[in-house]
Amino acid sequence: MGALEAHGEHLPLWTDTIVPHKLAQKVAEKTGALVLPPITYGFCYTLRPWAGTVSLKSNTFAAIIRDITRELVRNGFTKILFLNGHGADATIAGHVLKELSDELDFTACVVSWWDIKGVEVGGHADEGEASIVMSLTGWKKRPSKQAASKRYFGRVIPMPKDQYSKYGYVGKVGGETAARGRKMEKVIVSKLVKLVNSNLLLKEE
């Protein structure tokens, strides 16, 4: 599950699609799992003030997850890993899958790659995310300007624009390296391989 949205001046708009898809392919090489084409658009309302963001409405994204899941189950799939690259997508998908589990026989697991223990990502389009893009794709480091962003208590709606930097990212930028990305990649792939091999029922260590 991905998105098309602003990622500062230094990362591609489809970062949230590239990362989970590349990671899924690496997991498939080690497990034999099948990888579907990525969902390239997501629910991106918070980044709409920045150029390049193309957001679906939440009910549109929910319908996509609902229809794809129904079709997968109809085709005989009963174990479905939803590897997520965009925060809001996981919330919506989780609600949809809970509802579908009342009527369909399947096991699903929704994983946002940055939530895996040992992965250092502290924001949006920060040096952690940039590092893994460099590792997975060969993307070359690009100039980025450090700019301030602010934190607010709770989830404020509509989102204050200064919650993100003026360039459309949150966190520290400039220290990204492919080597750092490779370390993150190794941790993520290892965890996901264990997850797939456990039929999506991996107990926390």
| DSSP assignment string, 141-160 | P-----------SS--SSPP
Confidence of residue 161 (pLDDT cuts 50, 70, 90): confident
Residue 164 scores a pLDDT above 80:
yes
* Per-domain boundaries in the chain: 15-197
Q: Are 55 and 45 in contact (CB under 8 A)?
A: yes
pLDDT at 25: 98
The lowest-confidence range among 52-56, 143-147, 186-190 is 143-147
Q: How many CA atoms lie within 13 A of 65 on its CB side?
A: 33
The whole-model pTM stands at 0.95
Q: State the Cα–Cα distance between residues 38 and 42, nearest whole angstrom.
A: 11
Q: State the Cα–Cα distance between residues 107 and 97, nearest whole angstrom.
A: 9
pLDDT digits (tens, 9 = 90+) for 100-132: 999 999 999 999 999 999 998 989 999 999 999
Q: What are phi and psi of 31, to 5 degrees?
A: -125, -20
Element (H, E) at 104: none
Q: State the Cα–Cα distance between residues 150 and 165, nearest whole angstrom.
A: 8
Confidence of residue 58 (pLDDT cuts 50, 70, 90): very high
Percentage of the residues of the chain whose pLDDT score is greater than 70:
100
CATH superfamily label, 15-197: Creatininase (3.40.50.10310)
**How large is the average pLDDT for residues 80-100?**
98
